[in-house]
């Protein structure tokens, strides 16, 4: 196993402070595994974080996200800006294993101490990927990386949640992945701060870009919204921002494999970064992030406490009753909560 000093919170934090990459990698593992050290580590590192600009890159499989991340990070490195990368791939629901292959397309970044790449599997734990990812982002932030790029497969709810933990979300589209309507389905427009139409040398790239343009011209919504735990939550716009100061997502055409259009995309990301600071939107997003995060953690902690108090058996009996339609789920929850309160009051 790892050196002994990396089995303690103090040793790991000291390692991280001195720039030791092994310590950083171990800390991320502790958090992913939700080990006993995870919470003390997060508590110790939290005050150190908050400096990085967090960039989410999302889009359907095959749009070229990994290659784009490779090109973007390479360009940041030319400007001597350090980059942490989190590449998320799905866990197989059947075996619980995962095949994480994004590094294949990030080989240009090998051997550079200013880059740290970590692959994460979705795992499907209680509390969800969004929380684990947010925690790993925080660790890279605390380790001093100036830009953190998080790449997710843009299908499904958890990915939208991850995107909402970024300050700048880039939605990657590519021509030839279905008609233009696919590109503008609800959900994608709302989370995008920037669009990249990748593989722009392919036929149909102009049509894809134009379809996005037309949607945007229909007018930005007064408030952007995102789904969160089945509820619509407003994001990104502080309530008092003047209409003429609102951000309209720019559209960039890129050919990531040839590193074309990457300068413009990077400049767009940095423009958005400045916009967030100058318009006060960043503080607003930080507040919303904190609010979401707190609710998520509180919900999980309460759930765990209730399950622990009531015990496996009582829960599965109730589940049976609901499954057999002897009891509806709402009444079931009410009964469980009553039982829980009874327990803690008599304990």
Residues at the interface with other proteins (CB under 8 A): 1-3, 21-22, 25-26, 28-29, 32-35, 91-92, 94-101, 103-104, 107, 110-111, 116-119, 121, 123, 125
- Least Å distance, CB 272 to other proteins, is 28
Among all chains, which residue has been given the structure tokens 């233009």?
180
Q: Which residues of 17-45 are buried (b: 16+ CB within 10 A; e: fewer)?
A: eeebeebbebbbbbbbebeebbeebbebb
Contact (Cβ atoms closer than 8 angstroms) between residue 22 and residue 51:
no
Q: How many residues in the chain?
A: 347
Per-residue CA distances from 206 to 136, 147, 256 (Å): 37, 30, 16
Using the minimum distance from each CB to other proteins, give the nearer residue, 136 or 276.
136
How does strand 251-253 pair with strand 194-197? Answer: parallel
Using the minimum distance from each CB to other proteins, give the nearer residue, 117 or 196.
117
- Least Å distance, CB 99 to other proteins, is 4
- Least Å distance, CB 29 to other proteins, is 5
- Least Å distance, CB 110 to other proteins, is 4
List 58's β-bridge partners, or say none: 152, 171
Using the minimum distance from each CB to other proteins, give the nearer residue, 45 or 266.
45
Residues with Cβ < 8 Å from 60, sequence gap 6 or more? 153, 154, 155, 173, 174, 177
Using the minimum distance from each CB to other proteins, give the nearer residue, 125 or 146.
125
Per-residue CA distances from 142 to 126, 135, 168, 238, 285 (Å): 25, 10, 19, 27, 19
List 149's β-bridge partners, or say none: 55, 85
- Least Å distance, CB 86 to other proteins, is 11
Using the minimum distance from each CB to other proteins, give the nearer residue, 77 or 223.
77
Quick one: which of 323, 335, 184 has its CA closest to 249? 184
Using the minimum distance from each CB to other proteins, give the nearer residue, 100 or 314.
100
- Least Å distance, CB 1 to other proteins, is 6
Using the minimum distance from each CB to other proteins, give the nearer residue, 88 or 265.
88
- Least Å distance, CB 34 to other proteins, is 5
């Amino acid at each position: 196993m790892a050196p002994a000093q990396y089995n303690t919170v103090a040793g790991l934090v000291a390692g991280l402070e001195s720039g030791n990459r092994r310590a950083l990698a171990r800390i991320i593992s502790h958090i992913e595994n939700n080990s006993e050290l995870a919470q003390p580590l997060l508590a110790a590192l939290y005050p150190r974080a908050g400096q990085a600009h967090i960039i989410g890159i999302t889009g359907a499989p095959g749009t070229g996200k990994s290659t784009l991340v490779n090109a973007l990070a390479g360009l940041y490195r030319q400007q001597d800006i350090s980059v942490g990368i989190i590449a998320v791939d799905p866990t197989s629901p059947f075996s619980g294993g995962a095949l994480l292959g994004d590094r294949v397309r990030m080989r240009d970044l090998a051997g550079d101490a200013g880059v740290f790449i970590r692959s994460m599997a979705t795992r499907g734990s209680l509390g969800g990927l969004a929380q684990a990812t947010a925690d790993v982002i925080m660790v890279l932030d605390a380790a001093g990386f100036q830009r953190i790029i998080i790449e997710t497969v843009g299908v499904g709810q958890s990915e939208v949640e991850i995107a909402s933990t970024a300050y700048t979300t880039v939605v990657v589209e590519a021509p030839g992945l279905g008609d233009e309507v696919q590109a503008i389905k609800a959900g994608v427009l709302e989370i995008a701060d920037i669009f990249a139409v990748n593989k722009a040398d392919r036929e149909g790239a102009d049509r894809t870009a134009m379809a996005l343009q037309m949607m945007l011209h229909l007018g930005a919504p007064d408030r952007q919204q995102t789904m969160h735990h089945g509820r619509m939550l407003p994001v990104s716009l502080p309530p008092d921002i003047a209409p003429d100061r609102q951000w309209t997502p720019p559209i960039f055409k890129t050919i990531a494999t040839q590193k074309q259009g990457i300068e413009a995309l990077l400049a767009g990301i940095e423009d958005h970064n400045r916009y967030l600071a100058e318009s006060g939107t960043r503080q607003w997003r930080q507040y919303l992030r904190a609010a979401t995060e707190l609710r998520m953690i509180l919900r999980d902690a309460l759930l765990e406490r209730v399950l622990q108090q009531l015990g496996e058996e009582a829960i599965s009996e109730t589940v049976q009753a609901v499954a057999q339609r002897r009891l509806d789920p709402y009444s079931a929850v009410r009964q469980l909560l009553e039982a829980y309160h009874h327990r803690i009051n008599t304990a």
